[in-house]
Amino acid sequence: MALTFGVTVLPDPPYTRLIELMQKAEEHGFEYGWTYDSHILWQDSYATLPLVAAATEKIKLGHCVTNPGIRDPTVTASWYATMQDISNGRMLMGIGRGDSSRRVVGLKPVRVAEFEARLRMIKDLMNGRKVKWNEKELQLEWVRDELPEIPMQVAGYGPRALGVAGRVGDGVIIQLADPQIIEWIMETARKAAAEDGRDPDALQCVVCAPSHISDDLDDAREQVRWFPAMVSNHVMDLIERYGADSDEIPAALTEFVKARKFYDYKEHSRVGAKHGEFVTDEICDRFCVLGNAEQATEKLRELESIGADQFNIYLMTHGQEETLAAYGERIIPQFTGVAA
């Protein structure tokens, strides 16, 4: 199956910028429009994403990612079901345990067992099925049966979270573009799916990373150095749980964080973030999609060859319109065979 394309836009003020970039993405042939959910660092995207739905026609919308712990999970389920009605069936959910959204307000990511229980409930409730929650039987009886199911894509890095993705999710959200690590992540999630009696091949692979299209590779790397630093937050959690030299986690994922010194959420997902200074050029190249259109296409073909279903650009670099145009005019048509 051909690689599809999405884009993640920060819910930065002014909120009209989020709408504008999503509209441009739709015009350039992107099939998926995602945004963050971190209500202290940025505007509340539960308020702004409905405006995007009203201003677009085809692009599918969702969070990359929300979490089941900052709001009551029944609220999250009802919001997605409501948005499925408003967007006329264009919603998909990306969900993780909660990084910046929870840490910034002094909370840790949701514990894995609780994460799984909440995801099972949310998936059924937002799609109109009866659930038992807090010893109450609940159902959103107003869900429109004629609309498609809202898929749930689950973000994770470690074996336990990936087990949840395999048992509950419709796909895995992977925040890096390193083929070796992606293959390990999908193998881990698919093993859990198979052990639970699900079809492991049905589990989708959504690869998320910044992409800067330019002949100036040095500048492109400076645009994205913040991203592996962001990934290192999750890797540090894995090291705390499994150990730095654990056989359960590939060294390709853990080795690069040894030079990490600190992380400042005030510069979360920002070009030039000081906490990204430890990230090497090699890691930028492995974790992101950089270079001119031909070099980017070559990397994307490699991702497609290992089973990636979607490449989701983290559009937190300079020249956002130029990136969307480069993909729409020179890259996406090579995968769809149709001009954007």
DSSP string, 3-37: -EEEEEE--PSSHHHHHHHHHHHHHTT-SEEEE--
pLDDT for residue 337: 65
| Burial class of residue 69 in the structure, from the number of CB atoms within 10 Å of its CB (0-12 exposed, 13-18 middle, 19+ buried) | buried
Q: What percent of the chain has pLDDT over 90?
A: 98
Mean pLDDT, residues 47-62 taken together: 98
Mean pLDDT, residues 30-50 taken together: 98
pLDDT for residue 317: 97
pLDDT for residue 296: 98
Q: Are strands 60-63 and 93-95 parallel, antiparallel or unpaired?
A: unpaired
pLDDT for residue 328: 98
Mean pLDDT, residues 128-141 taken together: 98
- Tokens 């038992």 belong to 132
Mean pLDDT, residues 37-66 taken together: 98
Mean pLDDT, residues 288-295 taken together: 98
pLDDT for residue 1: 79
Mean pLDDT, residues 51-55 taken together: 98
| CATH fold of the domain at 4-216+308-336 | TIM Barrel (3.20.20)
pLDDT over 60 at 340, yes or no: no
Mean pLDDT, residues 1-9 taken together: 96
Q: Is the peptide bond before 13 cis (omega within 30 degrees of 0)?
A: no
Q: Would you say 73 and 122 are in contact if contact means Cβ atoms under 8 Å apart? A: yes
Mean pLDDT, residues 8-36 taken together: 98
Mean pLDDT, residues 145-165 taken together: 98
Q: How many angstroms separate the Cα of 29 from the Cα of each of 9, 178, 299?
A: 16, 25, 19
Confidence of residue 284 (pLDDT cuts 50, 70, 90): very high
Mean pLDDT, residues 249-273 taken together: 96
Say whether pTM exceeds 0.85.
Answer: yes
Say how far apart CA 314 and CA 9 lie, in whole Å.
7
Say how far apart CA 36 and CA 324 lie, in whole Å.
18
pLDDT for residue 339: 43
pLDDT over 80 at 85, yes or no: yes
What residue spans define the domains of the chain? Answer: 4-216+308-336
Tokens found for residue 148? 């498609």
pLDDT for residue 225: 98
